[in-house]
Amino acid sequence: MPHITVDYDATLREILDRRRFARELHALAAKTVDGITIESCKTRFRCIDDIAIAHGEPQQVLIHVDFAILPGRTAEAKSTLSEVTLDLVRTHTATASVAGLTVHASVEVRDLDATYRKHVTRAVTQP
C-alpha cells in the first residue's frame, strides 16, 4: 500500500520519465500522508494507445493517477495528496504543452476495500 496506477496517453511516452516520476511520487506520498512509506509504494504505468477526448481532436492527451490507499485517512489528507500529485504531474508533463499538446491531467485518491490482502515473499540469499 499504496497501489498507484498511472494511465497515460501513448503520445506522452517520450515526454514522461516514468522511473523519475515514480521515485518523486513515492517520496511525495510518504511525506504527505502518515503511514505511507517509500518502501510500501508500488506504481504501475499503463500506456494507452487509443484515447479519445471530447470530439477526438488531435493534440489532446490524457494522464490519470489513481491512488488506492488503506482506509482511515482523513478527507483532508486525501485531498492534499491529490493536489500535490497533480502538481507533480504538471511538472513532469510541462514540455508537452511546448510540443503543442493539451494535457488533461487528473488524480483520484480512494480507499482500498475491506477485502484487500497482501503477502510478500522475500528473496532467499545464498550463503
Q: What average pLDDT does the segment 36-57 reach?
A: 93
Distance (Å, whole) CA 103 – CA 60: 6
Q: What pLDDT score does 70 carry?
A: 93
Q: What's domain 3-111's superfamily in CATH? A: Macrophage Migration Inhibitory Factor (3.30.429.10)
Q: What pLDDT score does 42 carry?
A: 97
pLDDT at 126 over 90: no
pLDDT at 23 over 80: yes
Q: Can you read off the three cell numbers belonging to residue 105?
A: 491531467
Average pLDDT, the chain: 94
Q: What pLDDT score does 13 carry?
A: 95
pLDDT at 101 over 90: yes
Residue 36, CB half-sphere, CA atoms under 13 Å: how many?
26
* In the chain, where the domains are located: 3-111
The answer to whether 35 and 41 are in contact (CB under 8 A) is no
Confidence of residue 65 (pLDDT cuts 50, 70, 90): very high
